[in-house]
Copies of this chain bind each other. A is one copy, B any other.
Amino acid sequence: MERLPSFSGLTAFYAAARHGTLTAAAQELNVSQPAVSRRIAALEADLGCALFDRSRKPVRMTPQGKDLLQALHSGFGQIEASVARLRQSAQGRVVTVSAPAGFVAFWLIPRLGALEDAFPGVTIRILSQEYGEAIRPGDLLIRFGLPETGAGQELRLLGDEVFPVASPLYLARLGMAADQHDFARMTLLTMEAARSQWHDWPSWFQEAGLAMPPGARALDFNSYAMLVNAALAGQGVCLAWGGVLDSFLDTGALVRLQGPSASSARGYFASARDGLAAGRDVRDILAWIAEKAT
């Protein structure tokens, strides 16, 4: 790892580069102009190259200076964004919920208004990740998968029922109905095989006691949200987790295909990162979500 120059040098240069004069940089930094002059001179000595051309007044940046300015703009920008988030979070009551993207899109967001109404004064931050991606850190974690042994405080959300759903327009186009459908003539929307955590169509047919139609047409997605949008757009039939797509089932945008369903040990699980030591807000929101999802 390259040893970084002094921070005061970098910030002095960054301010001078943005303002165009060392004097203005000094004002921004609440230091004197000679302090800025010296910081930048020390930085240049450290780096071994000139960042400003001083044959003119005010100074002009060299190409090396521009190179460093771009890096500082980007690097400081990202650090500043994180710092701002942490400071804001510390001032208010903020609860960060980390959950799979499909759950966020189809279950959590339709209920976000109600959640925020239930907890006035608390800022709810939501971090989502696609299936297969690493879980992002949060106060309250929702994951999809098998129950973990020894996890202790993990609550199971939603039912364990898995069933096919499709758009009524799609069914009508094929001359089918919810209680009169033929999988062999439908497109099966599915998550990519790499997502081994997912309940796929072969598993579903097997558990439903049906034979999977040979040569069934399949359409692969690497995002459950996109997959569900394809179903909504009439591109095929997809598997729904009990409870996840209920807002669409309630409005009729999607209908459940009549017939057997399958059950699975997999499901959505929620936990507070700090367990019983979690803050009151976190525990309350976890309880709220568990109640609405079961």
Task: Enumerate chain A interface residues (CB-CB to B < 8 A).
Answer: 1-2, 4-8, 10-11, 47-49, 62-64, 66-68, 70-72, 74-87, 89-91, 96, 137-139, 273
Contacts and interface: CB of A to CB of B under 8 A. Distances in A.
10 contacts: A2-B80, A2-B84, A47-B87, A63-B139, A64-B86, A68-B86, A71-B79, A75-B75, A75-B76, A75-B79
A10 B79 CA distance: 9
Given A63-B137, A82-B68, A89 B2 contact: no
B2 A63 contact: no
A4 B63 contact: no
> For the complex formed by this chain, how many copies does it contain in all?
2
Contacts of A83: 2, 4-5, 47, 68, 71
A102 to B, nearest CB: 22
B4 A11 contact: yes
B137 A2 contact: no
Contacts of A11: 4
A279 to B, nearest CB: 11
A85 B67 contact: yes
A67 B49 contact: no
A91 B4 contact: no
Contacts of A139: 63
Nearest to A7: B7
Given A71-B81, A79-B75, A87 B2 contact: yes
Contacts of A49: 86, 89-90
Contacts of A6: 7
Contacts of A137: 62-63, 66-67
Given A67-B85, A72-B79, A273-B63, A90 B2 contact: no
Contacts of A76: 4, 75, 79
A212 B79 CA distance: 55
